[in-house]
Amino acid sequence: MRKIHGTRLIALALGLAAVLAPQWAAIAQQPTPSDDAVNAIASQLFCPVCENTPLDVCPTQACAQWRELIREKLAAGWSETQIIEYFIEQYGARVVGVPPAEGQNLMLYWLLYLILGVSVLGGVFFLYKAVRGRNQPAEKQPPAEAVGQPAPSEYLDRMEEELKRR
């Protein structure tokens, strides 16, 4: 009886091995994503612990775990966009360097473009005025007598009289 039971176990193990062998072979054939592929995605994300530190250069343990998670997702066949969307869903828009242009962020993008446009138009206007001012001849100054100021000789005479009084 024991011999039959042991034979069944061996047959069952061989059957399972035959069924699982193609899956194991497929897993073994999948190349592990390179560090460059992982860092290409990690450079677009920011560390959850350190402020303003890209995930690809952050030395914290949390970032190492995130990079490993990116490697696993790439090995599972996820695209770059899917991975970034996963991190946004899990941790919010603060994990990406540039917030998505949707919702309240969309208003900020429009405000940015408006400020940029006004700045460019203002710069063009001042440049136009500067170039236009250089191309026009200088206006002639009216003679000093016409403005009501004494002529230089009269001025000197008055100065001498004032000095003599003192």
Based on its alpha-carbon atoms, the radius of gyration of the chain, rounded to whole angstroms, reads: 40
Structure confidence at residue 149 (pLDDT): 59
Give domain 32-99's CATH number out of 1.10.8.640, 1.10.10.10, 3.40.630.40, 1.20.1420.30.
Answer: 1.10.8.640
Structure confidence at residue 4 (pLDDT): 55
What sign results for the dihedral spanned by CA atoms 95, 99, 104, 108? positive
The rounded distance, in Å, linking the Cα atoms of 56 and 38 is 8
The rounded distance, in Å, linking the Cα atoms of 27 and 21 is 10
Using the 8-state DSSP alphabet, how is residue 96 labeled?
Answer: B
Taking only the tens of pLDDT, the chain with its 166 residues reads 445 566 776 766 666 666 666 665 555 555 687 888 888 888 888 887 777 788 888 888 888 898 999 999 999 999 999 999 998 888 887 788 766 677 777 787 788 888 999 999 999 999 988 888 777 666 666 555 555 555 668 888 888 888 888 7
Beta bridge partners of 145: none
Would you report the helix, strand and coil content of the chain in percent, each value rounded to 5? Answer: 70, 0, 30
Written in H, E and C, the secondary structure of 6-57 is: HHHHHHHHHHHHHHHHHHHHHHHHCCCCCHHHHHHHHCCEECCCCCCCECCC
Structure confidence at residue 27 (pLDDT): 52
Structure confidence at residue 70 (pLDDT): 92
- pTM for the full predicted model: 0.46
Best CA proximity match to 73, nearest among 32, 128, 115, 101? 32
